[in-house]
């Protein structure tokens, strides 16, 4: 076959356009891309042809709508070649590849939609928001330590018959959102300001700006404080290594927790501190956690079945009283304590008065999951719901994202999601 003339009409954020382009690249087929989101003339060309969707691929004048691998192969005379897997269809995704480190780029944007939390509520919201063409960012402090991510086996999520871990199910949702153009970063949201139309979300590295926000932080905060915790918060007790590690240069700190978040934070602290003592209250860490880098780090000491009973000091933290794996009480000298313990409370303290919360910290919402701040929604386990299940959180994400779309695009009614 002589070299075919191939034109791909695409649009920004369209996952199927990426599939078509990926397919052509894999087969070394040259093509001209005409992005209809960026260039009105290409949009008009499609309209003139009565084509109202992308990708639309012309191969020697013959049209292929959507990503139809068989048809593309036939028109390109590739029918005898083996099926080659294309981009996201089979691309293995994992939590580590989905979540990117924070870069300055995210502070330059005004996002249409930001989800605080990337569990099933946040991930599902990102699917709907990104698919509705909202510029979407998901911020999660510990992608492998949310409630679903830690759930060993999920067998009641509709449509999923095979045995999956919570993390596998969650990664599928996140990958789907990413296919639609959502961005994911790993960061802890420290505070928010929802007073203006453009809302501000503070992470240690800077301020993220958003037209709408979804609070999807789950309910995994500890229900009880350790003795001394409150007194020394900000004076040796910390919950964020990114924020505070630099204060502990060449000092000794304890990190207390039983999940990936604690491990990740201990790794960060080990770059600054003389010694990091990781206290794991149980024998085995929860969820998908790799301890190997800490085990081989000479600055890190790992103590399993060790609990903190009390945090002691004068002006700042000086000691911790611990109960070791032999049930003996010991006093250890430390300069700081970083706490990552789980519980069953919503971790919404960082919101302060930005939205109304009830006495247990659950965000108060109406039927549309709107909070007391305009353009701010909350859902999943972070709102008081009689049933805490993945499918409920995912449904909340859909409701919130569609409400956010209505808010951002100032529609009087929600967009219907089907014809």
Ligand X SMILES: Cc1cc2nc3c(=O)[nH]c(=O)nc-3n(C[C@H](O)[C@H](O)[C@H](O)COP(=O)(O)OP(=O)(O)OC[C@H]3O[C@@H](n4cnc5c(N)ncnc54)[C@H](O)[C@@H]3O)c2cc1C
Helix or strand (DSSP H, E) at 144: none
Q: Among 54, 57, 136, 147, which residue interacts with ligand X (rule: CB under 6 A)? A: 147
- In angstroms, what is the minimal distance from the CB of 376 to ligand X? 15
* 55 sits near ligand X (criterion: CB under 6 A): no
* 139 sits near ligand X (criterion: CB under 6 A): yes
d(CA 181, CA 15): 7
d(CA 346, CA 385): 12
SS3 state of residue 84: coil
CB 91 within 8 A of CB 37: no
Looking only at residues 188 through 247 of this chain, which bind ligand X when binding is defined by CB under 6 A?
A: 188-189, 216-218, 220
* 10 sits near ligand X (criterion: CB under 6 A): no
Nearer to ligand X, 114 or 334 (CB): 114
CA dihedral 284, 289, 290, 291 (to 10 degrees): -40
Stretch that binds ligand X, among 19-27, 55-63, 136-144, 243-251 (CB under 6 A): 136-144
Q: Among 244, 258, 381, 405, which residue interacts with ligand X (rule: CB under 6 A)? A: 381
Nearer to ligand X, 117 or 336 (CB): 117
Structure tokens at 257: 């927790």
| Cβ-based neighbours of 209, under 8 Å, separated by 6 or more | 107, 109, 110, 111, 198, 199, 200, 201
* 350 sits near ligand X (criterion: CB under 6 A): yes
Nearer to ligand X, 252 or 391 (CB): 391
Stretch that binds ligand X, among 26-34, 65-73, 152-160, 302-310 (CB under 6 A): 152-160
* 403 sits near ligand X (criterion: CB under 6 A): no
Please state the φ and ψ torsions of residue 59, each to the nearest 5 degrees.
Answer: -115, 110
Structure tokens at 317: 């933290």
d(CA 226, CA 232): 11
CB 240 within 8 A of CB 336: no
* 342 sits near ligand X (criterion: CB under 6 A): no
Structure tokens at 27: 């087969």
How many residues belong to the site for ligand X (CB under 6 A)? 36
* 341 sits near ligand X (criterion: CB under 6 A): no
Of 322, 331, 332, 272, the residue nearest 297 (C-alpha): 272
Nearer to ligand X, 144 or 277 (CB): 144
* 388 sits near ligand X (criterion: CB under 6 A): yes
Residue 351 is classified by DSSP as G
Q: Among 114, 380, 405, 408, which residue interacts with ligand X (rule: CB under 6 A)? A: 380
d(CA 267, CA 250): 14
Nearer to ligand X, 9 or 214 (CB): 214
CA dihedral 148, 154, 158, 161 (to 10 degrees): 150
- Binding pattern to ligand X, positions 106-135, x when CB under 6 A? ----------xxxxxxx-------------
Nearer to ligand X, 335 or 396 (CB): 396
Nearer to ligand X, 199 or 220 (CB): 220
Binding residues vs ligand X (CB under 6 A): 116-122, 139-143, 145-148, 151, 154, 156-157, 188-189, 216-218, 220, 347, 350, 380-382, 388-391, 393
């Amino acid at each position: 076959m002589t070299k075919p003339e191939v034109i791909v009409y695409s649009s920004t954020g369209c996952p199927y356009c990426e599939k078509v382009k990926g397919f052509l690249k894999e087969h070394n087929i040259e093509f001209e891309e005409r992005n209809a989101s960026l260039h009105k003339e290409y949009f008009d060309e499609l309209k003139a042809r009565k084509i109202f969707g992308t990708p639309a691929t012309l191969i020697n004048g013959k049209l292929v709508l959507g990503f139809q691998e068989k048809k593309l192969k036939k028109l390109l005379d590739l029918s005898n070649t083996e099926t080659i897997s294309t981009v996201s269809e089979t691309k293995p995704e994992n939590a580590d590849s989905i979540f990117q480190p924070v870069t300055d780029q995210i502070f330059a944007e005004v996002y249409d939609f930001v989800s605080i939390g990337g569990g099933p509520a946040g991930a599902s919201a990102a699917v709907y928001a990104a698919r509705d063409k909202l510029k979407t960012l998901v911020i999660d402090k510990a992608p492998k330590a949310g409630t679903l991510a830690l759930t060993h086996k999920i067998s009641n999520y509709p449509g999923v018959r095979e045995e999956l871990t919570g993390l596998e199910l969650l990664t599928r949702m996140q990958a789907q959102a990413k296919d639609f153009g959502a961005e994911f970063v790993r960061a802890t949201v420290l505070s928010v300001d929802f007073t203006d139309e453009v809302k501000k979300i503070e992470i240690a590295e800077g301020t993220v700006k958003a037209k709408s926000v979804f609070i999807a932080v789950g309910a995994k905060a500890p229900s009880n404080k350790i003795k001394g915790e409150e007194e020394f918060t900000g004076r040796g007790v910390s919950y964020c290594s990114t924020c505070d590690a630099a204060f502990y240069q060449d000092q000794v700190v304890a990190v207390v927790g039983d999940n990936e978040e604690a491990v990740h934070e201990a790794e960060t602290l080990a770059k600054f501190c003389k010694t990091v003592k990781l206290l794991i209250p149980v024998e085995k860490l929860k969820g998908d956690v790799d301890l190997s880098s800490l085990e081989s780090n000479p600055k890190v000491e790992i103590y399993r079945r060790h609990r903190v009973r009390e945090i002691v000091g004068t002006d700042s933290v000086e000691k911790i009283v611990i109960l070791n794996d032999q049930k003996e009480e010991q006093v250890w000298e430390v300069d700081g304590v970083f706490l990552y313990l789980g519980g069953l409370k919503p971790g919404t303290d960082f919101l302060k008065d930005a939205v109304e919360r009830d006495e247990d910290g659950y965000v108060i919402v109406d039927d549309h999951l709107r909070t007391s701040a305009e353009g701010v929604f909350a859902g999943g386990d972070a709102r008081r719901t009689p049933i805490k299940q993945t499918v409920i959180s995912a449904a909340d994400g859909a409701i919130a994202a569609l409400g956010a779309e209505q808010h951002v695009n100032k529609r009087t009614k929600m967009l219907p999601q089907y014809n």
